[in-house]
Amino acid sequence: MIDFSSFLVLDGGMGTLLQEKGLSLGGVPEVWNLEKPDIITEIHRNYVKAGSDVVYTNTFGCNRLKMARTGHSVQELIQSAVQNARNSGAKYVALDIGPIGQMLEPTGTLSFEEAYDIFREQIEAGNDTDLIVFETMSDLLEVRAGVLAGKEHGNGKPIFVTMSFEENGRTFTGCEIPAMALTLEGLGVDAIGVNCSLGPEELVPIVKMLCEWTTLPVIVKPNAGLPDPVTNTYNFTAEKFGECIKPFVEMGAVIFGGCCGTTPEHIQKLTETLSRLSPVERNPVIPSAVCTANHTVIINQPRIIGERINPTGKKRFKQALKEHDTDYIMNQAIQQIDAGADILDVNVGLPEIDEVEMMQSAVKAIQGITDTPLQLDTTDPIALEAGLRIYNGKPIVNSVNGEEKSLATVLPLVKKYGASVVGLTLDENGIPKTADGRFAIAQKILNRALALGIRKEDVYIDCLTLTASAEQEGVMETLRAVTRVKQELGLHTVLGVSNISFGLPNRELVTRNFLTMALYAGLDLPIINPNTESMVSSVRTYKLLANIDKNAVDFIAHYGNDTAPALKPPPSAQSTMSLESAVTAGLKAEASAITKQLLETIDPMEIVNTQLIPALDKAGSDFEKGKIFLPQLISSASAAQGAFEAIKTYLSEHSTETVNRGTIVLATVKGDIHDIGKNIVKVLLENYGYQVIDLGKDVPLESVAEATEKYHAPLVGLSALMTTTLPSMEGTIKLLNERCPWCQTVVGGAVLTADYAEKIGADFYANDAKETVDIAKKVFGN
Amino acid sequence: MNIAHVERKQAFRYMCLPSEPDAHFLEMADKCEKMLLSAVKPNYVYRVFPIESTEQGISGGGLLLRGNDIKEHLKECSQVVFLCATLSAGADRAIRQSSAFDILSGMMTDAMANALIEQVCDKAEQEIFATFPDNYFTWRFSAGYGDFPLDTQADFLKVLNAEKRLGVTLSENDLLIPTKTVTAVIGVSETPIPKGKKGCAICNLSEKCPYRAKGVHCHD
């Protein structure tokens, strides 16, 4: 085992030393493990002589993607690298793993599962090392994939992670220091820190913050200053480098080394400095907090958990789940965040769908567009683990309860993935009537969590809201339990608030007042509908009155210009505007409000056929004539989308009928990640009542064929923006011709022309979104 | 680096909007610009190398620059600057986020990001020009223009160490990710260079270019 009670010295730079020995600028350092093993071992040995306890194998980029063109396997390169490192006589040999070099979805095209498998291969090949190091990492999700692979395939070896931060305290992908610390300490990594990107001086505030956010040993492995853009040399001498690590020792860092531009000489000076110093003990107090890679929410005051991503009692939501409509879920996420949610509950369970797959899709979709932390809400442990696995950050698990079965299945998952957990105060005997009974279950849940090594700060207790109409005497018991849990156990509390008013008139009034009472009783995490302004304003008012919102800064920011926030009329509910003018003017909220009014007296399909489509046709024809441009056309399409959403909601509540003038599969082809054009086409097609199966971007050929088969779609739309991805468009069409001879294809995208479309065998070429609609009308004869 | 504003007129032009669009669009532009600027972390790296003639053609920093167009572009030059500029993955995120809210906002944010990355390249150029006050420069020539092959990108990024220094990566199909990233080759000469225009002849989009159809240039 590695001893962290004294300093541990790592090695320094490898790349620049190899270039000095003749490696070309674009050369592959890993190949030298086989071709020039003596040089590699000599560099390692020089570091050992200089004082390094640990040498990193020469395998920074040694993954199957980066090594693909070398003619060597990952296994042979890593195994030779390990041997070269061992030959240096180092005390410890670390398997060095850098970023994969391709970005993960949704910004890039690499899936989490592929990333995991790439790391697994490296870790298995480097089995004969003493520890695993991930360094120069930027994307926290990629790190998570690596750490999980390390935990699951590394035979219990210690894992170190260092990430590269810029002066703003974030990595290139935006990951912030507290999020890195919370997530990786939660996953059970052995030491964390920083390397590369900056020199020692710029790293001071970054390491200071990291030391405040983790109890783990902290690693500092800086560059030798900053590089000169013209000469590419680094500006720190070995002496200066050796001196400037002192502040990090004072902060409590214990593991040191060098990155770009450092040499054995730098490490020797570093070792000399350390020999004169002793490790400084740190006792950081890490608060209760949850996070995504880019945003941390500290539970040091009431934080709103938005409850709307949940199908219970919502027909439109159920329909969206059945149709795998992640756009709808994303929209619900954005609305709640705009309204003031700090955390979002995500419940996508429905008996007739695959909840495991849906949980992953929903988490990926929401995390692709927001930084707000999530609370994974499911009773299915498999769906829970599926969500926890791919979640980027530290989430909340909703929930465990006092039943033995629940404790035994849920808590180990919470521990493994480093989440926080909501404990419901119920057990095999149901919900205890009294506060004392619920307190006892809370205590039991806490003890079980602590026994597994889950921190007390990560356990939030839900004392359960009963409906006032059915169990009026229970209301105050719930609040008494909240107070006891908070004061006597010192735990944070959570409550689903809305339930209180079920079955009563004027629900909002009841819920709002209960919310304020609960906050006063000690509620930290109210689960509410943030789209109801009075709920959010009650929380803000409470924070003002409880002296949490100092000087009423937040309160004034929200209500300073508003004399009566609750009395705002809904947008244009009484409007006399026609649907056509709302669509023409691009007014989404108005179009939605007018449609809702019309639905009271007119059949939904009649609205679509006699008002919505003629309005869109007019916009389309103005566009063709050059009277308006694409943005105005899309503006009308957006407004029509508002009207359509109102119609869909109405239909899901009132009938089994849906609007469907024909099914069209849409995809941005394999390899291409530019999907704005495709998304515009989708909105317009949906406006005309077509059911669009949107497969997204970078879609494999087979997936297009599978979806076309599954829906027996008569029309498939393919887009590509880049010349390099046109071959995948051609391949997709070829595969469709073989497997789905009934379907026709329409293609579009910046580099396409009618001639080229014909050449690759497409049935139609569309120059813009409007033309795609015209083609759809032709194909479907409507 | 800090950039306080997006050159909106450019962004509106990319969207085929008039330079003074309706209030509706201006309001949206405010929102998109604010969101984009808070999401991105613009940055660039560059390196300067002497141009060498080898048997296979010209090269800089050990990187072979293939094709006649790049050779023509650098014919008056003795040195070459390799530049990579990016808005960071934050731009992609901002575009996704605004698209999920509303496709028009997505389009606006995308157009603004395109304007912004040009601004970042301009800033990088200013720094380069200031470093070589006595020299003359060509315009920015990128892999994928004319017969300068796109698959140069991988080695180009390696020479600049762009993955480590900027977080720029390449997809399987040689697409730069983050998507709002530009790589360019700028020639450096001791003597004035005839002011060559960015030619339509070598542009992949020339056949259906809306600017060309109107008789103007995309870079006017």
Residue A633 sits in a domain whose CATH number is 1.10.1240.10
Q: What share of chain B is helix, strand, coil (3-state, %, to 5)?
A: 45, 20, 40
Token pair, residue A438, equals 């619920």
Q: H or E element: which one contains A93?
A: strand A92-97
Of all residues in chain B, the one with the smallest CA distance to A107 is B92
* Cα gap A96→A135, rounded to integer Å: 7
Assess if residue A1 is contained within a domain.
Answer: no
List of chain B residues whose C-beta atoms are within 8 Å of the C-beta of residue A103: 89, 169, 171, 177-178
Does residue B99 have a cis peptide bond before it, meaning omega lies within 30 degrees of 0?
no
Token pair, residue A101, equals 């070099």
* Cα gap A77→A774, rounded to integer Å: 56
Question: In a mutagenesis test of the A interface, which of B104, B158, B202 is the best target, namely the one with the most A β-carbons within 10 Å?
Answer: B104
Assess if residue A503 is contained within a domain.
Answer: yes
**What Cα–Cα distance (Å) separates residue B60 from each residue in A232, A412, A652, B46, B154?**
15, 56, 64, 13, 15
- Predicted complex ipTM: 0.87
| Strand arrangement of the beta sheet that strand A764-765 belongs to | A691-694, A663-668, A715-719, A744-748, A764-765
A98 and A183 belong to one structural domain = yes
User: Chain centroid to CA A605: how far?
Assistant: 38
- A324: CATH: 3.20.20.20
Q: Can you give the pLDDT at residue B101? A: 79
CB pairs < 8 Å spanning A and B: 159
* Cα gap B88→A285, rounded to integer Å: 33
Q: Residue A631 and residue B21: Cβ atoms within 8 Å?
A: yes
Q: Residue B110 and residue A630: Cβ atoms within 8 Å?
A: no
A174 and A251 belong to one structural domain = yes
Minimal C-alpha gap between A459 and chain B (Å): 31
Question: How many CB atoms neighbour CB B77 within 10 A?
Answer: 24
Per-residue pLDDT reduced to its tens digit, A231-284: 778 889 999 999 999 999 999 999 999 999 999 999 999 999 999 999 999 999
A631 and A775 belong to one structural domain = no
- A181: CATH: 3.20.20.330
Of all residues in chain B, the one with the smallest CA distance to A19 is B159
Map tokens 């930290």 to a residue. Answer: A524
Nearest by CB: B104 against A631, A722, A753: A631
Strand residues in A606-763 grouped as ranges (E): 663-668, 691-694, 715-719, 744-748
A651 and A765 belong to one structural domain = no
List of chain B residues whose C-beta atoms are within 8 Å of the C-beta of residue A172: 41, 88-89, 166-167
Q: A734: domain range?
A: 660-782
Contact by Cβ (8 Å): A607, A640? no
A265 and A305 belong to one structural domain = no
Low-confidence ranges of chain B (pLDDT < 50): none
Query: With 0-12 CB in 10 A as exposed, 13-18 as middle and 19+ as buried, what is A564?
Result: exposed
A602 and A683 belong to one structural domain = no
Of all residues in chain A, the one with the smallest CA distance to B174 is A724
* Cα gap A552→A537, rounded to integer Å: 13
Query: What residues of chain B, 79 to 118, have a C-beta less than 8 Å from chain A?
Result: 88-90, 92-93, 95-97, 99-104, 106-108, 110
Low-confidence ranges of chain A (pLDDT < 70): 229, 562-575
Contact by Cβ (8 Å): A81, A39? no
List of chain B residues whose C-beta atoms are within 8 Å of the C-beta of residue A669: none
Q: Residue A680 and residue B159: Cβ atoms within 8 Å?
A: no
CA angle A498, A291, A403 (to 5 degrees): 55
Minimal C-alpha gap between A601 and chain B (Å): 29
Beta-carbon contacts of A78 under 8 Å, excluding residues fewer than 6 positions away, are A57, A59, A62, A95, A122, A125, A126
List of chain A residues whose C-beta atoms are within 8 Å of the C-beta of residue B21: 631
* Cα gap A294→A187, rounded to integer Å: 17
A68 and A151 belong to one structural domain = yes
* Cα gap A12→A33, rounded to integer Å: 17
A57 and A133 belong to one structural domain = yes
Question: In a mutagenesis test of the A interface, which of B14, B63, B102 is the best target, namely the one with the most A β-carbons within 10 Å?
Answer: B102
Assess if residue A3 is contained within a domain.
Answer: no
Minimal C-alpha gap between A465 and chain B (Å): 33
Q: Does B126 touch chain A (CB under 8 A)?
A: no
Nearest by CB: B174 against A136, A629, A724: A724
Nearest by CB: A103 against B61, B110, B177: B177
Q: Does B25 touch chain A (CB under 8 A)?
A: yes
Nearest by CB: A629 against B16, B39, B178: B16
Is the dihedral angle over the CA atoms A753, A755, A761, A763 positive or is it negative? Answer: positive
3-state secondary structure A676-696: HHHHHHHHHHHHCCCEEEECC
**What Cα–Cα distance (Å) separates residue A241 from each residue in A56, A264, A265, A304?**
20, 12, 10, 47
Of A298, A302, A301, A303, give the one whose Cα is nearest residue A287. A298
Per-residue pLDDT reduced to its tens digit, B125-178: 999 999 999 999 999 999 988 889 888 999 999 999 899 889 999 988 888 999
| Structural domain total, chain A | 4
Question: In a mutagenesis test of the A interface, which of B163, B166, B170, B202 is the best target, namely the one with the most A β-carbons within 10 Å?
Answer: B163
CA angle A412, A417, A419 (to 5 degrees): 90
List of chain B residues whose C-beta atoms are within 8 Å of the C-beta of residue A589: none
Q: Sort strands B176-177 and B169-170 into parallel, antiparallel or unpaired.
A: antiparallel
Beta-carbon contacts of A674 under 8 Å, excluding residues fewer than 6 positions away, are A668, A697, A721, A722, B179
Question: In a mutagenesis test of the B interface, which of A24, A25, A233, A666 is the best target, namely the one with the most B β-carbons within 10 Å?
Answer: A25
Nearest by CB: A331 against B43, B95, B100: B100
List of chain A residues whose C-beta atoms are within 8 Å of the C-beta of residue B97: 334, 369-370
Query: What residues of chain B, 139 to 158, have a C-beta less than 8 Å from chain A?
Result: 144, 150, 155, 158
Q: Residue B205 and residue A368: Cβ atoms within 8 Å?
A: no
A81 and A198 belong to one structural domain = yes
Of B217, B197, B188, give the one whose Cα is nearest residue B205. B217
Question: How many CB atoms neighbour CB A69 within 10 A?
Answer: 9
* Cα gap A169→A163, rounded to integer Å: 11
Question: In a mutagenesis test of the B interface, which of A369, A590, A638 is the best target, namely the one with the most B β-carbons within 10 Å?
Answer: A369
Q: Residue A634 and residue B107: Cβ atoms within 8 Å?
A: yes
Q: Which of A220, A245, A275 marks a domain boundary?
A: A275
Of B61, B36, B81, B43, give the one whose Cα is nearest residue B166. B43
Beta-carbon contacts of B48 under 8 Å, excluding residues fewer than 6 positions away, are A229, A230, B79, B80, B81, B128, B131, B188
Q: Residue A102 and residue B177: Cβ atoms within 8 Å?
A: yes
Give Dmax over CA atoms of chain A in angstroms.
Answer: 87
List of chain A residues whose C-beta atoms are within 8 Å of the C-beta of residue B150: 723-724
Token pair, residue A743, equals 């379907």
A603 and A713 belong to one structural domain = no
Q: Which of A655, A673, A704 marks a domain boundary?
A: A655
Assess if residue A538 is contained within a domain.
Answer: yes
Beta-carbon contacts of A445 under 8 Å, excluding residues fewer than 6 positions away, are A400, A401, A402, A407, A423, A425, A459, A461
List of chain A residues whose C-beta atoms are within 8 Å of the C-beta of residue B158: 25-26
* A338 three-state secondary structure: helix
Q: Which of A536, A564, A592 marks a domain boundary?
A: A564
* Cα gap B20→A81, rounded to integer Å: 61
Token pair, residue B209, equals 């270019």
- A712: CATH: 3.40.50.280
A371 and A232 belong to one structural domain = no
Q: Can you give the pLDDT at residue B195? A: 67
Map tokens 């997709």 to a residue. Answer: A732
Token pair, residue A549, equals 């919102």
Q: Residue A631 and residue B25: Cβ atoms within 8 Å?
A: yes
Q: Residue A101 and residue B62: Cβ atoms within 8 Å?
A: no
**What Cα–Cα distance (Å) separates residue A128 from each residue in A37, A122, A154, A172, A702?**
17, 12, 10, 32, 39
Contact by Cβ (8 Å): A619, A584? yes
* Cα gap A608→A614, rounded to integer Å: 9
Assess if residue A284 is contained within a domain.
Answer: no
Nearest by CB: B41 against A136, A168, A723: A168
* Cα gap A229→A13, rounded to integer Å: 18
Query: What residues of chain B, 161 to 220, have a C-beta less than 8 Å from chain A?
Result: 163-167, 169-175, 177-179, 204-205, 207-208
List of chain B residues whose C-beta atoms are within 8 Å of the C-beta of residue A170: 41
Of all residues in chain A, the one with the smallest CA distance to B150 is A724
User: Which CATH number does the domain B8-204 belong to among 3.40.109.40, 1.10.3720.10, 3.40.640.10, 3.40.50.300?
Assistant: 3.40.109.40
Assess if residue A780 is contained within a domain.
Answer: yes
In chain B, count H helices and then E strands.
8, 8
List of chain B residues whose C-beta atoms are within 8 Å of the C-beta of residue A628: none
Contact by Cβ (8 Å): A163, A143? yes
Minimal C-alpha gap between B200 and chain A (Å): 14
List of chain A residues whose C-beta atoms are within 8 Å of the C-beta of residue B162: none
Q: How far apart are the first and last CA of chain B?
A: 26
Is the dihedral angle over the CA atoms B210, B211, B212, B215 positive or is it negative? Answer: positive
Q: Residue A631 and residue B16: Cβ atoms within 8 Å?
A: yes
A651 and A669 belong to one structural domain = no
Contact by Cβ (8 Å): A41, A47? no
Token pair, residue A717, equals 């739309």
Q: Where are the domains of chain B?
A: 8-204
Q: Residue B163 and residue A99: Cβ atoms within 8 Å?
A: yes
Q: Residue B95 and residue A229: Cβ atoms within 8 Å?
A: no
Q: Residue B177 and residue A166: Cβ atoms within 8 Å?
A: no
